[in-house]
Amino acid sequence: MVSSLLGFAIGDALGLGCYIYVQFVIELIKIKNKYKAYKYIQNLDYNCFSENSLFAYHHILENNIYDIDINEIKSSGYVVDTLEASLESSLRRKL
């Protein structure tokens, strides 16, 4: 639904980034725990996305983004890098 609303192809890496972000925010609003919301997005079914798209987001989906060396987080402005940087920063920050 998210990708159809935004006009992206369902298998597109950009669409996947939007999907991950929207699902994270929805879950964060519902449960008000950023770590549980992060685990939630890691456990979603991503079968409708291509392997190439999923690989682009492997830091987010397969690892704990807040455990990755900060030097591995890029700030190029691409959607993948921006989402990684924002999640990493948010999850490392103690509230």
Q: pLDDT tens for residues 42-86?
A: 999 999 898 999 999 999 999 899 888 888 887 776 889 999 999
| pLDDT at site 92 | 85
Query: How much of the chain exceeds pLDDT 90, in percent?
Result: 53
Answer yes or no: is pLDDT of 19 > 80.
yes
| Structural domain range at position 39 | 2-92
| pLDDT at site 33 | 96
Residue 18 in tokens:
């939007």
| pLDDT at site 44 | 97
Domain count, the chain: 1
Sign of the dihedral defined by the CA atoms of residues 6, 62, 45, 51, in that order: positive
Entry pTM:
0.82
